[in-house]
Amino acid sequence: MTVVLCDWIGSNEKFFQWVDEEFPLKVYWEKALSEAERALAILPPSPKVSEFQNIRSLFPYIHTPSPLQEVSTEIQLNKIGAQLFILEDLTGSGKTEAALTLAKRLMSSGRANGIFYALPTMATANAMYSRLVDVLSKLYLPGSKPSLILAHSRSRLMEGFTSKIWDNLLKGSSEFNNETPVYAGCASWFAESSKKALLADVGVGTIDQALMGVLQFRHNNLRLLGLEKKVFIVDEVHAYDAYMGKELEQLISVLAYYGAPIILLSATMSQTQRTQYLSAFQSVLSVEPSKDSDVETLSYPLFTKADSNGIESIPVLSNRPRNIDVSWLSSEKQCIEYIIEKASSGKSVVWIRNTIDDALRAFRSLLSSKKIDPEKILLFHSRFAFSDRQRIEEQAVSELGKRSSSERAGKIVIATQVIEQSLDIDADELISDLAPIDLLVQRSGRLHRHNRDASGRVKDTGADERGTPVLHILAPRWAESPQQDWYSAMFHAGAYVYPNHARLWLTQKVLREQGTIQLPDNARLLIESVYGNGLDIPSGLQDSALEDRGKEYSARSMAKNNLIVFSAGYSSVSFQEDLSSADWNSGVSDDIDDSYFAGDVSTRLASESVNIWLAQNTNGKIIPYSGGDGPEAWESSRLSVRRGWWEKNKNACIGLSEDCLEDWCREHKKNKDYSLVLLVEENCDFYTDREGLVGNNKKQEE
């Protein structure tokens, strides 16, 4: 890996220029040494790690550590050998602070010199980047100049990151931009290429950036080099499907082989997932795989440590118990009436729908009712250009975030899964379409998220004054013996989003039996009642369950075929086929966010997608929809859709002619087979800044 990095630096024509005359080898060698010193001078110096003091030295706002944080502070760490930690606790319980405290202790003990924090989406990565800015300086000695990088395909669009890149370091200068705080910057050498991003001292990004280290991507070894001496933290582990789960297992095995510390975080991890990750870790240790007791693993919250000595699971108490009542709705009409009633009385309401078309229909129904001020209704989904999506996200956080108060009264957000994990918003009332239990638990985290008084003002102490939170679930009427179309008859499109209808039925079954979501008391029960082994599934839904199980096996098999065979060493067996030279974004749905392809290999398994750039025709010149110019302006004007959706809706959209599109793709170096440019003109009916890209589902007259 180091040889590849040296070869890359040595190929930089800024320092090692081509020459066309002959001269003695000795002269060349002396010149090469001089140029090598200049080339190495652009590399940022490695910062020195400071000693760990206590959790408050990292997070001054923590006066009393949570039980999970206490274990992270006190657990004995091995001086040598691989270590895996699994932290399971409720959403909002302080897992992030616990993980970073543990990471800091590992760094101070000499086990690592940095951190890479991996998340499922770009939105969650952006939010975590902002949090790490405040922690960075506390990880290293005063006077150090660590680099903090944001690693995903749209990091350049986050002003909070781009404003902190030290451009002058590329020129070999040791001076910093006076406008950039030393503690929150990034040397431009790391930001030049995504392949070098993981070499930065501290990084946060999508899990894809790390997964490319074990997939058949060029320069994968540079990514592994970046992770080798870091604490690798993976958040929201439950969010990864069978395909990505297999990739993550391989990455855990490789990092365990290198001895890199690994920390996994989850609020709703199933026992099956937990076992798979522990098995992947132990597979490279020269010891007999061990298991912990059923009593320990059924506890929740739970702190687990695995190393060459075995597995130690420590049950911990919760510092944030929550009881959420469950109520059932059986029609969209009921939902609309309930929303109007609650919003009219000053409550803020969020309805999370399983598909964009369902969200769009609900949004329009509220508008057409004429009973709600249109300015109080916000629609949020993934088929918006990035610039509009960012604006909507900021509005949602402003109106329903932690700092919101009187402005939250009567506000309504109709959204898809985009708000499940990424947005720190707090609803007085929450409705969700029926979804698998782990997602419902995740969605319920947006209900009474912050302690507030009856008027909606945030409280620092005391109980929430809004009463018992209630999760209202729109679902088919309960059936002990459901037919095959039990779910699809009500949610035609949603049936394709969550194809295992047996899991949806099991979700409804356990929630009806429990009547409430008691966290943490019945968290493990809820998850295992839907994802456990040997569950009793009605005959009408068995085909759905078997088909989905087959898809999971197929996904894991496909992932296995795309992984590098490290045991074969550097041989033709390691890489199973030649790959394209470019890593390019596939344009998967932004609900997923950041998939990468190289040849036929991808970091995520998803339907084939197309990238769409929105544009305007100004006096014959094609300019980005978001305004401005350059790659960033075009990227802000981009969205992506499934190719199947596009084929059904393309006739409703106005795009560039074939010749103009070819010229545009050539100019902007885009793949014409996966790229489209649509013209958004005045009174355009297939895209609006309030509804996004609607295609054939044209805007109704209001």
Half-sphere exposure of 175 (CA within 13 A, CB side): 3
Confidence of residue 18 (pLDDT cuts 50, 70, 90): confident
What amino acid is encoded at 204 in this protein? V
Nearest to 440 by CA among 549, 381, 522, 364: 522
Structure tokens at 79: 């001086």
pLDDT bin (cut points 50, 70, 90) of residue 627 is: confident
pLDDT at 598 over 70: no
Contact indicator for 327, 333 with CB cutoff of 8 Å: no
Which residue type sits at 583? D
Tell me the pLDDT band of 185, cut-offs 50, 70 and 90. low
Using DSSP bridges, classify how beta strands 322-329 and 186-187 pair: parallel, antiparallel or unpaired: unpaired
Q: Residue 679's pLDDT is what?
A: 95
State the Cα–Cα distance between residues 110 and 229, nearest whole angstrom: 10
Query: What phi-psi label fits residue 185: left (phi over 0), alpha (psi between -120 and 50 degrees) or beta?
Result: beta
Which among 175, 229, 180, 242 is positioned nearest to 202, based on CA atoms? 229
Average pLDDT over residues 25-36: 86
What domains are there in the chain, each with its CATH number?
A: 2-41 (no CATH), 322-519+534-543 (3.40.50.300), 607-693 (no CATH)
Residue 341 amino acid letter: E
Q: Rounded to whole angstroms, how far apart are CA atoms 595 and 588?
A: 6
**Higher-confidence residue: 669 or 55?**
55
| Closest C-alpha to 382, from 331, 417, 354, 348 | 417
HEC assignment per residue over 149-172: EEECCCHHHCHHHHCCEEHHHHHC
How much helix, strand and coil, in percent to the nearest 5, is found in the chain? 40, 20, 40
For residue 635, give the nearest of 155, 307, 127 by alpha carbon. 155
CB 380 within 8 A of CB 406: no
490-521 tens-digit pLDDT: 999 999 999 999 999 999 999 999 999 999 99
Residues 265-275: pLDDT tens digits?
A: 999 999 999 99
pLDDT at 28: 83
Residue 588: predicted pLDDT: 33
For the record, the structure tokens of 702 come out as 């209001």
Return the residue matching tokens 């720190």. 424
Pick the more confident residue, 593 or 684: 684
pLDDT of residue 242 exceeding 90 = yes
Q: What is the pLDDT of residue 165?
A: 63
Residue 415 φ then ψ, to 5°: -140, 165
Q: Which residue has the higher pLDDT, 423 or 676?
A: 676
Q: Tokens standing for 413?
A: 């957000």
- The pLDDT, as a whole number, for residue 302 is 95
Is residue 508 within 8 A of residue 478, CB to CB? The reply is: yes
E strands present in 70-193: 84-88, 114-119, 148-151, 165-166, 186-187
For residue 181, pLDDT beyond 70? no
* Confidence band for 6, pLDDT divided at 50, 70 and 90: confident
Nearest-angstrom CA–CA distance, 490 and 331: 9
Mean pLDDT value of segment 184-192: 63
**Which residues lie across from 413 on neighbouring strands?**
350, 378
| Per-residue pLDDT tens over the stretch 323-369 | 999 999 999 999 999 999 999 999 999 999 999 999 999 999 999 99
Identify residue 103 by its one-letter amino acid code: A
pLDDT at 239: 87
What strands, in cross-sheet order, belong to the sheet with 377-380?
377-380, 412-415, 349-352, 429-433, 470-474, 322-329, 516-519
Q: How many CA atoms lie within 13 A of 182 on its CB side?
A: 13
Give me the half-sphere count of Cα atoms (radius 13 Å) on the Cβ side of residue 651: 1
